[in-house]
Structure 1
Amino acid sequence: MSTTERPDSWAITSPRSDRVKRIAALSGRSARRKQGRFRVEGPQAVRSLLQHSAPLVRELYVTADGATAHPDILELADAHAIRPRDVDPSILRAMTRGEEDGAAASMAAPQGVLAVADLPSASLHAVLDTLPDGPLTALVLHGVQDPGNAGTLIRAADASGARAVLATTGTVDLYSPKVVRSATGSLFHLPVVAGIAPEDLSPALHDAGISVLATSGYADHDLFTTELPTRGAWIMGNEAHGLPQEMLDTADLAVRIPLAGDAESLNVAIAATVCLFETLRRR
């Protein structure tokens, strides 16, 4: 049985209210697409959202403990004329349950802070047109399926100074709660474009003067000794299968990461981190 709130009601008292159910449903991709919104959990991610993408914020929920522990978030909200709603931890717990995470996935409130934001609508060409001239790095996710890996990849791109993260169709939804949590705020620090048709990727990058870079255990070139282009986009593939041959064929340069031990390969997030920071080191 649901509890319907009056439109002018500010307090949320029931974890079974329609509003709570709507926010919990954002665990599912179909609900995110239908509502045009996604959920951001925890103080670090919400803080980054408010600092870098405040116009996207539509709702902000804070528990008493969250307000006490993170007064800077309330100050940021006030600076952007965003009015937070005070809620009980049980309400926040109910908001974080959903079909992708499972009913018992979040047994504690997400550190007292949760926001609902509009899905960004930036296009590939719009983002590429805003990139500066000169040396730059971008990261491309092609068929990456694990949300934790995707979030870690976004975080590594941010930490290494990459200027954009691009994702082709077939990649996990970058605005699922698990990806947003794993990215720990980096999702809002640099432009992110999802849903790119693979056949459109290389031509668009080349038009922007950006070389396509790939990794392969069978590549002739060693990452640490090969000259890298000053403007490049590293493409990282599926966890189990890597990059398909047709994507490798479009790369301007493919390199292998030399392995000194007996491991046959690296996790995609680790491989990307090595490539991104080697690029940063060169500069």
Structure 2
Amino acid sequence: MSVPLTAGNTRVKEARKLSRRSVRTERRLFLADGPKAVEGAARLPGCVVEVFVTPTARAAYADVLVAVEQVTVVDDRAMASLSDSVSPAGLVAVCRHLDVPLETVTAGRPQLLVICADIRDPGNAGNVIRTADAAGADAVILAGRSVDIYNPKTVRASVGSVFHMPLALVPDPAAAVAAVRDAGCAVLAADGAGEVDLFEADLRGPTGWLFGNEAWGLPGHLASLADHRVSIPIHGRAESLNLATAAAVCLYTSAASQRR
């Protein structure tokens, strides 16, 4: 067996540069950290460029690595330099970008779409992608100045869903709303001050949910583009729900209505 590569190895150092968004964008590559992410990436033909793995992880995750052509063994220090986890699992994949054009996700009569406008927290973004996947949504659109979907924390929080949930990146949230409406979906803005109660709304038809920033929600000009503003009733003393929880309630309510 070859000697594991060290943190000073050129290939390891080049992969480590993908921790920076600018490098990820330029190279159209990103790092997928941990067995769930690597397994999801390995199932997509052409997605994985290379997997870096420690000797221990190579033995532990042999079933995950069997589908990977290029497996490179590294030592523990090299792995620590590639992973942003506190306790790295021991395998990190270099993957090609996955996003598709907006026209792709709005084609073919979608039933449930998600637009995230200016969400900044990578954990929230990953959780929304994971929830959309679980609820059977057709795609997630990250619009405006949203967090990079290839941020390692976003990829990890999605628990593999970034690899099988169609994702589109759109600079202009208003353009995303227009495209979703043109695809035949009613656009519903999740808004605590909305005029429609979520549990009284008719959600049986094709729907595009619009979610805003974690701290300040949707700006008025963007919320006004939606067909309706929909609120989740608060029955207790909590001021509001966080973004990931609100998205889960809205998406599962839509999914249940569409399946009746």
TM-score normalised according to structure 1 size: 0.86
Structure 2 residue 126 is the aligned partner of structure 1 residue 126 = no
Task: Write out per-residue CA displacement over residues 100-124 of structure 1, whole angstroms, 9 at most, x where no aligned residue.
Answer: xxxxx5443x312110011235110
Which residues in structure 2 correspond to 1:27-176 (within 5 Å)? 27-51=19-43, 53-77=44-68, 82-96=69-83, 105-108=84-87, 110-129=88-107, 131=108, 133=109, 136-176=111-151
- Secondary structure at 2:217's aligned position in 1? coil
Contact persistence 1:202–1:212 (CA under 8 A): yes
User: Partner amino acid for 1:118?
Assistant: R
User: Partner amino acid for 2:71?
Assistant: P
User: Partner amino acid for 1:158?
Assistant: D
Contact persistence 2:195–2:228 (CA under 8 A): no
Contact persistence 2:117–2:145 (CA under 8 A): yes
Contact persistence 2:99–2:169 (CA under 8 A): no
- Secondary structure at 1:54's aligned position in 2? coil
TM-score normalised according to structure 2 size: 0.93
Which residues in structure 2 correspond to 1:115-264 (within 5 Å)? 115-129=93-107, 131=108, 133=109, 136-264=111-239
- Secondary structure at 1:187's aligned position in 2? helix
Note the residue ranges of structure 2 that are not aligned, 5 or more in a row: none
With over 3 angstroms needed to count, the CA separation of the structure-2 counterparts of 1:246 and 1:11, relative to structure 1, is: farther
Task: Write out per-residue CA displacement over residues 230-257 of structure 1, whole angstroms, 9 at most, x where no aligned residue.
Answer: 1111111001110111111110122110
Q: Following the alignment from structure 2 to structure 1, what is the Cα–Cα distance between the partners of residues 203 and 231?
A: 13
With over 3 angstroms needed to count, the CA separation of the structure-2 counterparts of 1:121 and 1:152, relative to structure 1, is: closer
User: Partner amino acid for 1:47?
Assistant: E
Across the two proteins, how many residue pairs are aligned to each other?
Answer: 257
CA RMSD in angstroms comes to 1.7
Structure 2 residue 8 is the aligned partner of structure 1 residue 16 = yes
Q: Following the alignment from structure 1 to structure 2, what is the Cα–Cα distance between the partners of residues 24 and 106?
A: 14
Identical residues among aligned pairs (%):
37
